[in-house]
Amino acid sequence: MQTHTLPSGAAAQLRLQFDAVPSPYEDAEGALIGLFRAFAALPDELLAALFRFSRDPASHGALLIDGWPIDAELPPTPTSGQLPAGGRSLHAEKSLLGLAAQMGTPVGYRTEKDGQLVHHVVPMPGGEFTQSNRGSKVFLNFHNDSMYDASMVFNSHNPDFLLLLCLRADHERQAQTLYVDAREALALLPEAQVAVLRQPRYRMAAPSNYTLLIHGAKGDEKVWSAPVPVIQGPAAYPEIYLAANGVQPMDDGAQQALAALQQACEAAGHDSAVRLAPGQALLINNRKGVHARTAFPARYDGQDRWLLRANIRTSLWDIRDRATQQALVFA
Ligand SMILES: O=C(O)CCC(=O)C(=O)O
Ligand SMILES: [Fe+2]
């Protein structure tokens, strides 16, 4: 994976500027304006890498950048996805949102972590075996972060990018985050199977957070999309879409092509595996490729793995049908 490191001088300068930035939990707009100013002073080389990653259709779909300011003293890892109370410097949140604003616009969705701009991705008791960011004990399958929509297509209003910033690694540093760019995976498949993946012969399960919290489903019940393709768009710049919570091929040919794609992802994914360490940010294009996470132990002792996550859109206009009274928060 392509990796950059924020020089320590630039990190120290960011920390100083962060002191003048309001808490994003209290004043999201004020925080984003302050962060815009602070991030403008980053080294040209890093800004150029961010620019190309975020705006060039040809760039690779994942980028790792190390050395971001995070809080010197962290509270125990939460077990509920809610921010623990108590005074903190919020350097990590500011690193996350400043970086997100370089890539596009950070947004919240009411159906995902209450519309918050900053998500706490932590293992949660009871969620160990789920195909969601609450899980730990199972491999989180290759997927895109998707968003339920009444159109029954779940990759229309979803984030274009997601950003993961590591605050704490898991105890044994086992968890690996994997990314496969669709171009790499499709290069491993025969053309006939790519052609099948391009046809609307699949149903995708709505995210489990939606199914449980909003739909009120119990157990393994799923909400399925309309028939959709896995691959769309020009061969040189394909968009891929796989749901974490389940993909249902609608016939045998579709099933075979999906199995071949999953094998290709497993083959390609381990090349890009990262064990995220504190201060590392993984920038993920949510349309160019799919991501996954390996299993890891969770102990719920306050020292479990803890990532901050942001959802980022390049266009808010295209999701205006779900705008709410609250800026940057969508239904
Ligand atoms: O925990 C990870 O490394 C990835 C989790 C994930 O897929 C997500 O937060 O969307
Ligand atoms: Fe994900």
At 111 the pLDDT is 85
Confidence of residue 268 (pLDDT cuts 50, 70, 90): very high
Compute the distance between CA of residue 91 and CA of residue 283 in angstroms, rounded to an integer: 18
Compute the distance between CA of residue 210 and CA of residue 148 in angstroms, rounded to an integer: 7
What tokens appear for 253 in the block? 């040919």
Q: Does the pLDDT of residue 217 top 70, yes or no?
A: no
Residue nearest to atom 9 of ligand 1 (CA): 133
Longest dimension (CA), the chain: 59
Minimum mean pLDDT range among 66-80, 94-108, 117-131, 204-218:
204-218
At 209 the pLDDT is 77
Q: pLDDT tens digit string along 291-302?
A: 999 999 999 999
CA of 191 to the centre of ligand 1 (A): 30
At 218 the pLDDT is 67
Quick one: which of 122, 174, 177 has its CA closest to 296? 174
Higher-scoring residue by pLDDT: 220, 309: 309
Ligand 1 and 177: CB distance under 6 A? yes
At 210 the pLDDT is 78
Q: Does the pLDDT of residue 84 top 70, yes or no?
A: no
Quick one: which of 310, 278, 286 has its CA closest to 118? 310
Mean pLDDT of 241-263: 97
At 67 the pLDDT is 98
Compute the distance between CA of residue 280 and CA of residue 170 in angstroms, rounded to an integer: 14
Ligand 1 and 170: CB distance under 6 A? no
Q: At what angle do helices 91-103 and 28-39 cross, to 10 degrees?
A: 70
Confidence of residue 131 (pLDDT cuts 50, 70, 90): confident
**Mutational pocket test of ligand 1: of 158, 166, 293, 312, the residue with most ligand atoms within 8 Å of the beta carbon:** 293
Confidence of residue 40 (pLDDT cuts 50, 70, 90): very high
Cβ 228 vs Cβ 241: under 8 Å: yes
At 43 the pLDDT is 97
Cβ 277 vs Cβ 162: under 8 Å: no
Domain that holds residue 75: 3-330
Mean pLDDT of 103-122: 93
At 166 the pLDDT is 98
Q: Does the pLDDT of residue 258 top 70, yes or no?
A: yes
Q: Measure the N-to-C terminal CA separation of the chain; round to a whole number of Å.
A: 34
Ligand 1 and 140: CB distance under 6 A? yes
CA of 137 to the centre of ligand 1 (A): 13
Mean pLDDT of 160-179: 97
At 114 the pLDDT is 84
Q: Does the pLDDT of residue 311 top 70, yes or no?
A: yes
At 328 the pLDDT is 96
Count how many domains the chain has. Answer: 1
Mean pLDDT of 112-116: 86
At 60 the pLDDT is 97
Q: pLDDT tens digit string along 44-73?
A: 999 999 999 999 999 999 999 999 999 999
Q: Does the pLDDT of residue 34 top 90, yes or no?
A: yes
Residue nearest to atom 8 of ligand 1 (CA): 133
**Mutational pocket test of ligand 1: of 109, 121, 296, the residue with most ligand atoms within 8 Å of the beta carbon:** 121
Question: Which residues fall within 8 angstroms of residue 126, CB to CB, at 6 or more apart?
Answer: 134
Return the ligand 1 atom nearest residue 140 CA: 7
The domain that holds 205 is classified in CATH as 3.60.130.10
Q: Does the pLDDT of residue 213 top 80, yes or no?
A: no
Higher-scoring residue by pLDDT: 67, 134: 67
At 169 the pLDDT is 97
Measured from the alpha carbon of residue 135, the closest ligand is 1
| Average pLDDT across the chain, whole number | 94
Mean pLDDT of 111-130: 91
Mean pLDDT of 77-83: 81
Tokens 């274009």, residue located: 160
Return residues with CB closer than 5 A to ligand 2 (ion): 145
Residue nearest to atom 3 of ligand 1 (CA): 177
At 215 the pLDDT is 64
Cα–Cα distances (Å) from 178 to 69, 154, 200, in that order, read 24, 22, 26
Ligand 1 and 133: CB distance under 6 A? yes
CA of 277 to the centre of ligand 1 (A): 14
